[in-house]
Amino acid sequence: MAEPADWDIGLGGAGYNHTASTLTESAAVDTALAAWMAILDVLEMAVQAAERTLKDPLGPLSAASPNHVAPLPVERWTPPTRPGPLPAAARRRAAALAAAQERVAHRLDEARMDVARQLQAVSSVPGVGESSAAIYLDVNG
């Protein structure tokens, strides 16, 4: 009986089929990792956009422009379809992203409450929001 060639046996004597299935599994893991990395990229860009909004709430509208830049329409976010369980290689990045999302969400909530307080203060001023009738304010008395 002829002995099989080394490439036919593979490492550990498992044979060629084991090597082929390992390559298929490796390709599936690489594909899942790439899909998760793309999802994490999109989520990180959203966190960065929220941070920019906190720094400059009006964005391009804050700079006087002769072009009168109109705000872009906001698309409703839909969660991506999960490409399977999160690979171990992406866990640290995902955990850091989750922490960044929590920090930005907290800061956005604080900004929202600050705006609500400001709106409440403005609405308490007599005449604000009413018809534009003459209002006289006695600053001397």
83 within domain boundaries = no
Domain hosting 29: range is 8-58+88-123
44 within domain boundaries = yes
* Phi, psi for 14 (deg, rounded to 5): -80, -20
Section 12-22 average pLDDT: 51
pTM passes above 0.85: no
134 within domain boundaries = no
36 within domain boundaries = yes
Tens of pLDDT, residues 68-111: 656 666 778 788 888 889 999 999 999 999 999 999 999 999 99
**42 contacts 80 by C-beta, under 8 angstroms:** yes
33 within domain boundaries = yes
137 within domain boundaries = no
3 within domain boundaries = no
